[in-house]
Structure 1
Amino acid sequence: MRTITIKPTAITHNLNQVKKRAPHSKVLAMVKSNAYGHGVAAVLPALTQADGIGVATLIEALEARQLGWNKTIGLVEGAFTADEWQQAIDHEVSCVIHHVPQLEWALDNVPPAASATRVVWLKYNTGMNRLGFNAEGVIAAAKHLHAAGYQLILTTHFANADDITHPLNAVQIQRFKDMLATLKETVSNDVKGSLCNSAGVVNFSEHHYDWVRPGIILYGSAPVIDKSAQELDLQPAMSFSAQIIALQTVSANDAIGYSSRWIAQKDTETALVSIGYGDGYPRVVSEDAYVSVIDNTNNRSYPCAVLGRVAMDMIVIDVSAVPDNTSLLDSKVILWGDAPHVDEVAAHAHTISYELLCRLSMRPKRVQA
């Protein structure tokens, strides 16, 4: 059976690691893209100690409200239309404002004084060059918004926070610091700041400001390139598993799977596992990729290499090193979880854990530990 097991206790643990690293900041926990593939409904109860959640679309915000989330919701790309801005007001959603049309909607339709939408996240482009006003635009927008009665949180996004040595980090930090000081001096001393994502929480402890915005770190994946999840005391929030559905011996010089990519150098004991790219396991992985097989007879875990090309519904693994491998039918196979960690699988697929988690299909059964 294909199964995705979510561990809410791990998410709470990881949130507490963020709070320990940023004890003086509020936490906007990112649950966009269905909580990075973990499922918003499963994740929200584990985030009760967060000060708010962040989403990418209004549909995600409305789902969280329907599930009973009554704290801050930050719409991190803002409203896409004037109608969405009105819906944000109706549902007490706080929005990012990153370009002129959004600014105009906010000035033309000011929410009631007590509305959560009166708090806006003003996006400053400090070097990522995606969303955000330039320096002149931020100052002008801040003045207009403050005059209209809005409370402001200056925000930006790192381009390279995962690599603490990258020179653009210092540039972005200084630009943000200078702009926040300017807005406090020229607009209002009540302007707040939000600079750090998951990687920033780890790498830039002196620059956490009023709000931090953790995402992938909450789900147990390392957000920086020089430390593992284990070194950061993170727990994987998801275990992805399947079962062995067939066993066979592949003779020396025979090939396995599409493209005949893997050729046996000797007679090899193999197992067929009921998982593939149709479920979200990556189609192309390196020869270092492995899974963990849980032997039914002794409940021990054995690392087993993935052989050849991953198919839509199946993978083949080498079970030669498992004692009495003839009894492995129906045994559980861990694709990622404690071992291998999703970060390892991502490295074997030349991608990042975010992508693997977010592109999981709906075919695997979902349960909570």
Structure 2
Amino acid sequence: MTAVTKRQPRIELSTSALQHNFKRVRKVAPHSKVVCMVKADAYGHGIEFALNALQDTDAFGVACISEARQIRQLGYKQPVTLIEGVFSPAEWIEASQQQFECVVHQQQQVQWALAHPHTYQKNNLKIWLKLNSGMNRLGLQPDELLTAALKLRAAGFELVLTMHFANADVPDHPLNQQQIQTFLHLKQQLEPIEASCCNSAAIFNWPELHFNYVRPGIMLYGASPYDNIIANKLDLRPVMHLKSNLIAIQHVNVEQVIGYGSRFTTTRPTRLGIVAIGYGDGYPRALTHGAYVSIQGHEAPLLGRVSMDLLAVDLTDLPTSIHIGDEVTLWGDNPSVDLIAKHNNTIGYELLCRLTQRVKRISLNAEGNILIKSN
């Protein structure tokens, strides 16, 4: 029996898995430069950990300038693309000085670029000119983009034509072909021009669209970009394993209720395990029937509601060798984060990003030794 000396929900982060997934991108898109997306604290994995593992990338992608600053503060010199661009003339000037490449997706950003071209051009930075090809989130309409491209080229800027798929995870969705045709038409009108339109799912779907840059995100972290294809079928390895420990075992009779709201009632004598993790740590509360954890390689179904700090699992059919102190895997190899997300009516991206600072981070190097430890 393992003694429990403190509450210890934790995530273990695998450098070797992240590097494997990066090499998978290189294999699938061998002729394109790779812009590794590390926004949102590297999808909840920790920016320092991710940058260390991804040193062989061609560039990094982030949402905004505050995230880009972290990359420079940590000493990394690779190009950084701000996928939401800048939010003021002052940010444009800072981006120019710090050698951050900017996505330009609206007219005000075009004007900031035209008003302050010199440092940006001196540092050989490219403007990523974003097309609204049908997702209707960010980007210039086709006619607006053509006008902006002519003005920016006349001012001496080098351009990358870019867009984002709304339904790359559903390859047969009719909007995909509409977006592709709109993009290809604009690309033809602007030739010669560099181009980028592939996120994780699109990297797998359309090798003919890899162009100059691909932008992997979720696939780097070992989760699937699809609803109906699991990650290991894509030869992706989970980078994050969320773990905790059993801190109590209850023996409960028939017709006893478990947890807040008394939502679950036992139908048999039940050996109940209590795990030290809950929604206060970022584990989802709104789970549907069928979610489970792994203990000693055995699947233990969740029972009742997840609370802020604890959850209950059914040990009745598991070996009696399972005791207080045993390690519990909430997601990782089994169950996957995608499976838990499906039981929460969401996607793996959200669960990875919403873990709280209460959870200890343990980063493991390629040999499996501790590289960084937080909390």
Q: Which category describes the TM-score, using the shorter chain as reference length?
A: over 0.9
For residue 318 of structure 2, the aligned residue among 308, 322, 327 is 322
Which position in structure 1 is the counterpart of 2:203?
Answer: 201
Q: Does 1:145 align with 2:155?
A: no
**Structure 1 CA distance for aligned equivalents of residues 152 and 268 of structure 2:** 71
Cα deviation for residue 302 of structure 1 reads: 1.1
Which position in structure 2 is the counterpart of 1:178?
Answer: 185
User: Which structure 1 residue ranges, 5 or more long, are not aligned?
Assistant: 295-300
Matched residue SS, 2:195: strand
Cα deviation for residue 284 of structure 1 reads: 1.1
- Cα-to-partner distance string for 1:216-262 (whole Å, 9 max, x where unaligned): 00000111233210110000000000011111012111111111111
TM-align CA RMSD: 1.0
- Cα-to-partner distance string for 1:16-72 (whole Å, 9 max, x where unaligned): 111111111111110000000000100112112211010001110000111111011
For residues 1-369 of structure 1, what are the structure 2 equivalents within 5 Å? 1-112=8-119, 113-116=121-124, 118-184=125-191, 189=192, 191-294=193-296, 301-325=297-321, 327-369=322-364
Moved more, 34-43 or 142-151: 142-151
Cα deviation for residue 193 of structure 1 reads: 0.4
Q: Which amino acid aligns with 1:349?
A: N
Q: Which amino acid aligns with 1:32?
A: K
**Structure 1 CA distance for aligned equivalents of residues 167 and 306 of structure 2:** 32
Q: Which amino acid aligns with 1:227?
A: I
**Structure 1 CA distance for aligned equivalents of residues 317 and 363 of structure 2:** 31
**Structure 2 CA distance for aligned equivalents of residues 25 and 114 of structure 1:** 25
Q: Which amino acid aligns with 1:346?
A: A
Matched residue SS, 2:190: helix
TM-score of the aligned structures, taking structure 2 as reference length = 0.93
Moved more, 355-364 or 41-50: 41-50
Matched residue SS, 2:122: coil
**Structure 2 CA distance for aligned equivalents of residues 182 and 82 of structure 1:** 29
Which position in structure 2 is the counterpart of 1:297?
Answer: none
Please list every run of at least 4 consecutive aligned residues from structure 1 whose deviation after the TM superposition is greater than 4 angstroms.
none
**Structure 1 CA distance for aligned equivalents of residues 221 and 167 of structure 2:** 20
User: Which structure 2 residue ranges, 5 or more long, are not aligned?
Assistant: 1-7, 365-375
- Cα-to-partner distance string for 1:78-99 (whole Å, 9 max, x where unaligned): 0011111111112110000000
**Structure 1 CA distance for aligned equivalents of residues 356 and 35 of structure 2:** 27
**Structure 2 CA distance for aligned equivalents of residues 22 and 63 of structure 1:** 28
**Structure 2 CA distance for aligned equivalents of residues 25 and 225 of structure 1:** 26
Matched residue SS, 2:281: coil
- Cα-to-partner distance string for 1:167-188 (whole Å, 9 max, x where unaligned): 111111111111011011xxxx
Q: Which amino acid aligns with 2:160?
A: I
**Structure 1 CA distance for aligned equivalents of residues 299 and 100 of structure 2:** 46
**Structure 2 CA distance for aligned equivalents of residues 212 and 98 of structure 1:** 18
Task: Give me the identity figure in percent.
Answer: 44
Q: Which amino acid aligns with 1:311?
A: S
Count of aligned pairs: 356
**Structure 1 CA distance for aligned equivalents of residues 237 and 266 of structure 2:** 36
Cα deviation for residue 114 of structure 1 reads: 3.2
**Structure 1 CA distance for aligned equivalents of residues 182 and 290 of structure 2:** 42
Q: Which amino acid aligns with 2:300?
A: C
- Cα-to-partner distance string for 1:82-129 (whole Å, 9 max, x where unaligned): 11111111211000000011011000011333315x311000000000
Cα deviation for residue 357 of structure 1 reads: 0.4
TM-score of the aligned structures, taking structure 1 as reference length = 0.95
